[in-house]
């Protein structure tokens, strides 16, 4: 069974701060890495994806990937209360994805 | 494009009964996934279709579970002889060309199953 490890949190940050979410994975064959946001009682929605080593930025979000260390992270700049949710890391091989248990983020006004 | 839809949204059944869920993916999408999610956990992969072909199935999946996608459009997930441990949210997702990134999965609202 492929393992995906995330700190369950909750991670609490003040509004306007940077939130840093981390994820490690066991499957070295993983080729694609997705970050999903899930609000309580709702389905996951895609935030970011990254395929290559390095950083990828999209608005307030930056995904960082280090395949050698089997580590992927998500940075949220200028955190807003509306960012409060559970963030799920999902490495995969395009056909199959393994989700972590997620990190719960609380952004305090 | 109306998104991914799932029916029913809620299902309560007695242990030992069979249940069937339906998923209608985004029409342009050729890939369809089923997941199961319990409280405090991330979605657990169950199975994957490309068009009508079932290409992946979790080894953790009991043979009481079966899924079909007969015409490469909608899919059904059947659970036979339900057990209390089957209580969970069952999520369907689709991906493919035409809408979003090729491997971006769009999730449906889920079917919440309660086995009493």
pLDDT in tens, A18-43: 999 999 999 888 888 999 999 999 99
Mean pLDDT of all residues in A67-84: 96
pLDDT attached to residue B99:
64
Higher per-residue pLDDT: B98 or B30? B30
Distance of alpha carbon A45 from the chain centroid: 12
**Both tokens assigned to B11:** 């299902």
Neighboring chain B residues of A87 at a CB cutoff of 8 Å: none
A81-107 confidence digits (pLDDT tens): 999 999 999 998 767 788 999 999 999
B100: pLDDT strictly greater than 80: no
| CB distance A97 to A90 below 8 Å | yes
Using 50, 70 and 90 to split pLDDT, how confident is the model at B60?
Answer: confident
Rounded Cα distance between B4 and A99, Å, is 20
Rounded Cα distance between A11 and A95, Å, is 31
As a whole number of angstroms, the longest Cα–Cα distance in chain B is: 41
**B22-50 per-residue burial string, b: 16 or more CB within 10 A, e: under 16:** ebbbbeebbbbbbbbbeeeebbbbbbbbb
Mean pLDDT of all residues in A55-65: 95
Rounded Cα distance between A95 and A79, Å, is 32
Substitution target in A43, A51, A99 with the highest count of B β-carbons within 10 Å is: A43
pLDDT attached to residue B90:
98
For B103, the closest of A32, A42, A102 (CB atoms) is: A32
pLDDT attached to residue A1:
60
Sign of the alpha-carbon torsion through A8, A10, A15, A16: negative
Give the strand pairing for B10-13 and B31-37: unpaired
pLDDT attached to residue A26:
92
Give the strand pairing for A71-76 and A19-25: antiparallel
Sign of the alpha-carbon torsion through A69, A23, A95, B57: positive
pLDDT attached to residue A95:
74
Q: Does the distance separating the beta carbons of B110 and A88 come in below 8 Å?
A: no
Sign of the alpha-carbon torsion through A101, A102, A103, A108: negative
Question: Reduced to 3 states, what is the DSSP secondary structure of residue A7?
Answer: coil
> In Å, how far are A74, B2, B12 from A93, measured between CA atoms?
19, 27, 35
- On the question of a cis peptide bond just before residue B8, with omega within 30 degrees of 0, the verdict is yes
Residue ranges of B 1-30 with Cβ closer than 8 A to chain A: none
pLDDT attached to residue B28:
86
Q: Does the distance separating the beta carbons of B44 and A1 come in below 8 Å?
A: no
Mean pLDDT score across all residues of chain B: 92
> Rounded to the nearest 5°, which phi and psi values hold at B27?
-60, -30
| CB distance A37 to A103 below 8 Å | no
Mean pLDDT score across all residues of chain A: 92
| CB distance A97 to A3 below 8 Å | no
Q: Does the distance separating the beta carbons of B105 and A96 come in below 8 Å?
A: no
Report the DSSP beta bridge partners of residue B6.
B23
Using 50, 70 and 90 to split pLDDT, how confident is the model at B96?
Answer: confident
B1: pLDDT strictly greater than 60: no
């Amino acid at each position: 069974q492929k393992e995906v490890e995330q700190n369950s949190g909750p991670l609490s940050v003040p509004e306007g701060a940077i939130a840093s979410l981390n994820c490690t994975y066991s499957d070295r064959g993983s080729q694609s890495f997705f970050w999903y946001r899930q609000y309580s009682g709702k389905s996951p929605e895609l935030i970011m994806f990254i395929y290559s080593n390095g950083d990828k930025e999209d608005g307030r979000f930056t995904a960082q990937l280090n395949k050698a260390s089997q580590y992927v992270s998500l940075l949220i700049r200028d955190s807003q209360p509306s960012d409060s949710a559970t963030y799920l890391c999902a490495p995969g091989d395009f056909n199959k994805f393994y989700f972590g248990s997620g990190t719960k983020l609380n952004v305090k006004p | 494009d109306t998104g991914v839809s799932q029916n029913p949204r809620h299902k309560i059944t007695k242990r030992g009964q069979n249940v069937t869920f339906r998923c209608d993916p985004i029409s342009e999408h050729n890939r369809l996934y089923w997941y199961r999610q319990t409280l405090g956990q991330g979605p657990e992969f169950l199975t994957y279709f490309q068009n009508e072909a079932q290409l992946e199935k979790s080894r953790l999946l009991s043979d009481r579970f079966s899924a079909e996608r007969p015409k490469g459009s909608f899919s059904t997930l059947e659970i036979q002889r339900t057990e209390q441990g089957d209580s969970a949210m069952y999520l369907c997702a689709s991906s493919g060309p035409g809408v979003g990134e090729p491997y971006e999965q769009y999730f449906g609202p889920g079917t919440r199953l309660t086995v009493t």
